[in-house]
A and B are shown apart, each in its own frame.
Chain A
Amino acid sequence: MSDMGSPRRDRLLRGVRVARWATGLGAAGLTAAFSVAAAHAFKGHDGHAKAVQTAPRRRAAHARATVPGPDQVPSIAADGSLQPPAQAPQAAPSETQQPPQAQQQAPEPPVSGGS
């Protein structure tokens, strides 16, 4: 380490302080300049506009709506059971049991099966 005289060290320290002040002032100035530029970059912005009082924040729609759960819906809850047919299905007569005329006219019956 080199030996440094006191006057010279004091001068250097003052120089560093001045440089720090200058840097700080420059940064503040630039920040202000950019802020002004940004504020005027948006159409409709009025630098003198009064602060608008914002409406109280609304709660989410689903929290506000009073929509009943499925257990509470009368048209569903009152319908008590799956209903059997009014008349039980019957075995269809086999083709040989049908008269010949019906066999000729009968198209293929619709099929209930998976889809």
Chain B
Amino acid sequence: MIASATASWAAIGTTVSVHVTELEALETAQRHVQAEVVAIDLACSRFRADSELSRLNARAGRATPVGPLLSEAIAAALRAARLTDGIVDPTIGEALMLAGYDRDFAQLRPQAGRLRAARVPGWRVLRHDPARRLVIVPAGVQLDLGATAKALAADRCAAAAAAACPGCGVLVNLGGDIAVAGPAPEAGWTVGIGDDHRGPADQAITIRSGGVATSSTAVRRWGAGRHHIIDPRTGIPAGACWRTVSVAAASCLDANTAATAAVVLGPAAERWLTERGLPARLVASDGTTVAVDDWPQEVPAA
């Protein structure tokens, strides 16, 4: 059995679903996931004028107190930046806007013409005191937490739902960022892997803990070469080496950090993932796939 009960709904510009191993736990788990999703949106959305992140960006150049959730999200983004040597960088906000991603994706229109590059200032310019929850974003810098906040939210959602439903296994899927917590089903959680979280899946795997995340340039595009994964070294969207990268890790946050880094790293990604022992599936722009570390080989279609 894959899961006993499932609920899904639209939120934060994508699809959210929660899967539980105990039918009677579904309502409680869903309530906790909904609360976490609302909280992360209010804290970290770049497209809500009333979000904490928007207010922080508007106060660039000044020390700004932030709430515990935004402080945690910033800490997670800085950790991702450090562990990827700045390949996954939260200071790409200006570059994303120059690339055309300046409003909620649903409102974007196809764009063409020459891409404009922005110099990405780099994560080391930020100042963050987690103990006092104080942040200084330097003047002229715009934070974007898109590479880490959703994955962090998936981890938080799964943990919160599992804590509220003792003895129940929980899987949370936030637009393709998947986290599990609590006891897994006997055969593990079955997860589809594909270019688009709305399906169809190209491969099916099972996991028992942690998370799986996929970064792809095949979706969230608004023109040729225009997508949401920025290479901080160039200030423009990453090159076309890998179309989609899926990674399994001890948490969804680590999985998504590695998947995004792999897309940006291009040809160097395979070695980078292997050195870190992270099972991954990489899909090249021509559709050929590469399995890294312990990622299960795909069974050819009969």
Contacts and interface: CB of A to CB of B under 8 A. Distances in A.
Interface of A: 60-62, 64-71, 73, 75-77, 79-94, 102, 105-115
A107 B201 CA distance: 14
A29 to B, nearest CB: 48
Closest A-B pairs by Cβ, 6 of them = A114-B216, A115-B175, A88-B294, A83-B250, A92-B204, A91-B296
Contacts of A66: 129
Interface stretch (B29-37, B50-58, B109-117, B205-213): B205-213
B79 interface: yes
Nearest to B246: A112
A79 to B, nearest CB: 6
Interface in B1-16: 1-3, 6, 14-15
A50 B114 CA distance: 63
Contact of B208 (A83, A84, A87): A87
Given A67-B128, A109-B192, 15 more contacts: A65-B63, A67-B127, A70-B127, A75-B130, A80-B83, A82-B276, A84-B276, A86-B250, A88-B295, A92-B190, A109-B201, A110-B19, A112-B193, A115-B176, A115-B219
Interface centre among A80, A88, A94 (most CB of B within 10 A): A88
Interface stretch (B41-49, B95-103, B231-239, B251-259): B251-259
A27 to B, nearest CB: 45
Given A61-B62, A76-B82, A114-B215, A86 B129 contact: no
Contacts of B205: 89-92
B276 A81 contact: yes
Main secondary structure of the interface of A (DSSP, over half): loop
Contacts, number: 212
Contacts of B123: 70
B181 interface: no
B141 interface: no
A89 B244 contact: no
B120 interface: no
B293 A88 contact: yes
A44 to B, nearest CB: 30
B135 A67 contact: yes
A93 B277 contact: no
B162 interface: no
Interface centre among A81, A91, A115 (most CB of B within 10 A): A115
Contacts of A64: 63
6 contacts: A73-B129, A76-B82, A111-B201, A114-B196, A115-B14, A115-B220
B127 A88 contact: no
Nearest to A64: B63
Nearest to A96: B302
Given A70-B124, A89-B206, A94-B299, A76 B79 contact: yes
Interface string B189-207: 1111111111111011111
Contact of A77 (B82, B214, B216, B276): B82
B127 A68 contact: yes
Given A69-B126, A70-B82, A83 B198 contact: no
